[in-house]
Amino acid sequence: MTVKLAPSILSADFAHLGRQVQEAIDAGADWIHVDVMDGHFVPNLTIGPLVVKALRPLTDHVLDVHLMIEHPERLIPAFVEAGADIVTVHQEACVHLHRTVQQIKDLGARAGVALNPATPLSTLEDILPYVDLVLVMSVNPGFGGQSYIPSSTDKIARLSKMLARRGLEKQIEIEVDGGIKAANAAEVAQAGATVLVAGSAIFNQQAHVAANIAAFRQALRA
């Protein structure tokens, strides 16, 4: 799979969100990563389905919704209705993970499962055949602009081997999320990541969105 770039809107200028998303798409972003936080599962509060609904008409690109919320099953219908293409839930937030993954797929979206840095890959053993994506958190969820946790690279490599052993490497995306920069993009891609989420590396005041995305493409070509 070619490595896809999924800018996270968490670090975008929310006073001009539509324009920022348009800039990212025009600059070649593959997906748009939407970070949903409830102030309970993580100590931050962000957005709900209405922002997905507002962004949906802007693009046909994948809206990749990352639910960092407790009881995600309560809001999955609203996010799919709003236009989410992929809904990712946290393994740690789902007592009935198989049922929640099934709920996402029954509603017609693709299902992802996210693991916090301390959550072992082994917890995915029995859900892997049902998911479309595994999201490896390379920071503790809740905020943009944090530093990449170096042991995440090994975790991505072990996950990549886990999928290959089961012949699932073609049907399951490996997404990495947190502290991803042009400087470490090649490292995580070589470890097996197929989707890179980047927030502050793309939406920041240092350079334009297009220049930041170009820097990622350059790093991945190298």
Is residue 35 at the binding interface for Zn ion, with CB under 5 A as the rule?
A: yes
Is residue 120 at the binding interface for ligand DX5, with CB under 6 A as the rule?
A: no
| Alpha helix stretches (DSSP H) within the chain | 17-26, 49-55, 76-82, 97-106, 152-165, 182-191, 209-221
Q: Give min distance, CB of 177 to ligand DX5, in A.
A: 5
Q: Tell which one of 49, 72, 112, 144 touches ligand DX5 (CB under 6 A).
A: 144
Residue 11 interface partner, choices Zn ion, ligand DX5, none, CB cut-off 5-8 Å depending on type: ligand DX5
- Which residues in the 33-72 window bind ligand DX5 by CB under 6 A? 33, 35, 66, 68
Distance CA 83, CA 212 (A): 27
Nearest partner of 101 among 79, 64, 118, 76, judged by Cα: 76
Site string for ligand DX5, 201-220 (x = CB under 6 A): x-------------------
Q: Tell me how far CA of residue 203 lies from CA of 20, 33, 36, 77, 144, in angstroms.
A: 8, 12, 17, 29, 10
Q: Tell which one of 49, 72, 112, 142 touches ligand DX5 (CB under 6 A).
A: 142
Q: How many residues are there in the chain?
A: 222
Nearer to Zn ion, 14 or 164 (CB): 14
Nearer to Zn ion, 132 or 177 (CB): 177
Of the residues 30, 35, 38, 85, only one is catalytic, namely 35
26 is catalytic: no
- What residue number has its CB nearest to Zn ion? 66
Give me the helix-helix angle, 182-191 and 209-221, nearest 10°: 40
Query: Are the CB atoms for 135 and 116 separated by under 8 Å?
Result: no
Element (H, E) at 113: strand 110-115
In degrees, rounded to 5, the angle at the alpha carbon of residue 184 between the alpha carbons of residues 129 and 112 is 20
Is residue 155 at the binding interface for Zn ion, with CB under 5 A as the rule?
A: no
154 is catalytic: no
Residue 201 interface partner, choices ligand DX5, Zn ion, none, CB cut-off 5-8 Å depending on type: ligand DX5
How much is the CA Rg of the chain, to the nearest whole Å? 16
Q: Where are the beta strands (DSSP E) in 25-95?
A: 31-37, 62-68, 86-90
Q: Give min distance, CB of 104 to Zn ion, in A.
A: 16
Is residue 38 at the binding interface for Zn ion, with CB under 5 A as the rule?
A: no
Which amino acids are annotated catalytic?
Answer: 35, 177
Residues that bind Zn ion (CB under 5 A): 35, 66, 177
Residues that bind ligand DX5 (CB under 6 A): 8, 10-11, 33, 35, 66, 68, 139, 141-142, 144-146, 177-180, 197-201
